[in-house]
Structure 1
């Protein structure tokens, strides 16, 4: 009787293991088969859209003294939420850093990236970009604007943020320039203030804004490299959301929304220092 009990128990254990392994495989296949992104319908059903923005890149994406997200990209994000979900407060802002923007899309942590995302061929292999809404080049800010030519950076330490076009540009075109890299923009600009590098490079729109708020610094190189475009991005293959975004950008272009966004968020910062027409892409196509 005892032998029969042990045999029955053994059979039950083996059967249970096989059953659980089968269930595990089924769940794994089920997980693998998922797209990894939320569809347009799923976003609508949830009532919230997750948009990645910067929290430390004033005036495009930053958190103010009250803990509220502000800036040009934030202004755009709220309009997306309003047009898609009927309420501009239906957006969940997710703070991102330059180097993790692609990862946040690939992992589904955000539905859209609006963090000053410059369109590049390398990034286009990993994410899908919508139509552009802004143009930008690189700039270089230094003490008193003393760095006016790239050759002055040879043998010096140039500060950049990881995962940015500035990092890529100088690595590919000026390998002799030492790059001092930081994860966050706040860390990078603090390093410049502390004198840990002779200059800092990022989007020219940002270095101009920063120099205007920090006495003793100037943008000696206002434009370097190509004139690139900035666009929203979605996870690779999320065609439905991408198509909706493209139509949204076209519609907003027709009503000159991005000019209004500039006037509301950037004009108070730049004044006459930046020509709006050189920055705004209103029609969804590069002018």
Structure 2
């Protein structure tokens, strides 16, 4: 009997040791995964960034098929500082609804697609510090300008699916009839075609759009609260998040965002808008 007890005790001891080793291995593996995000990007040799392809002047494709805009300007600098060259970047064109899924499915490392930080979105992605500020604006034809939100009751208002404008008007103004589109280019064309009385989206690029479309005006410059535009990474990717935040602080200190504004946004906005109205620095 004593021999059997000794054997059983020995087996239990071995089991505990093996379990401890297993937990230790799992812990090391978990730690390795947690700290390997940047190395994975370096090994790949490209930073994968989600951007818009039809949102001038923030993220768009020019006549030569090249990505341009304020978000692109920032994306290139991130690639340069992480990988040594602004060319080591892979652009993944998305629409507003695809931004979260692009991170969840590991299609991209970072989203730089005019991504407004909201409480609901914070539940599914990790936002870095802001680099722009924005509010919802409403644009309409000059000859039938919409200047008050109450003027929209019972009327058709164009929004892009997955945007803060869609969320805001759905929750706060249910009497407004929303016409929902998949992309920025589709929504603006719908407004030009007269398929609705007005269009709601981030005021920061509505200002630029009316410069190119002088028959329209931003009759309502600000609806709801002022929000921020932030880079986003996959939920839980703390290593990359911390790197992006450190990078934003470095860029702010050197005046990068003011330079980015002058080169990419100022030509579209003209004298009506100043850099301080759009950019956010992280000192």
Which TM-score band applies after superposition, normalised by the shorter structure?
0.7 to 0.9
Tell me what 1:134 maps to.
132
- TM-score normalised to structure 1 length: 0.85
Query: In the aligned structure 1, how far is the partner of 2:180 from the partner of 2:140?
Result: 16
| Contact in 1 for aligned 2:34/2:239 (Cα 8 Å) | no
Tell me what 2:75 maps to.
77
Q: Does 1:250 align with 2:249?
A: yes
Q: Does 1:215 align with 2:214?
A: yes
Query: In the aligned structure 2, how far is the partner of 1:53 from the partner of 1:79?
Result: 14
Return the offset for 1:271: 1.2
1:78-101 deviations in Å (ceiling 9; x for gaps): 000000000000011110100110
Distance 1:38 1:154, change over 3 A: farther
**How many residues end up aligned between the 2 structures?**
252
Q: Does 1:199 align with 2:198?
A: yes
Query: In the aligned structure 1, how far is the partner of 2:33 from the partner of 2:169?
Result: 36
Tell me what 2:259 maps to.
260
Paired residue secondary structure (1:215): coil
Query: In the aligned structure 1, how far is the partner of 2:35 from the partner of 2:159?
Result: 31
Q: Which consecutive aligned stretches of 4+ in structure 1 deviate over 3 angstroms post-superposition?
A: 33-38
Q: Does 1:175 align with 2:139?
A: no
RMSD: 1.7
Following superposition of structure 1 onto structure 2, how do residues 12-27 of structure 1 map, counting pairs within 5 Å? none
Return the offset for 1:36: 11
- TM-score normalised to structure 2 length: 0.86
Tell me what 2:6 maps to.
none
Structure 1 unaligned spans of 5+: 1-32
Structure 2 unaligned spans of 5+: 1-29
Tell me what 2:271 maps to.
272
Return the offset for 1:135: 0.5
Query: In the aligned structure 1, how far is the partner of 2:36 from the partner of 2:155?
Result: 46
Distance 1:39 1:274, change over 3 A: same
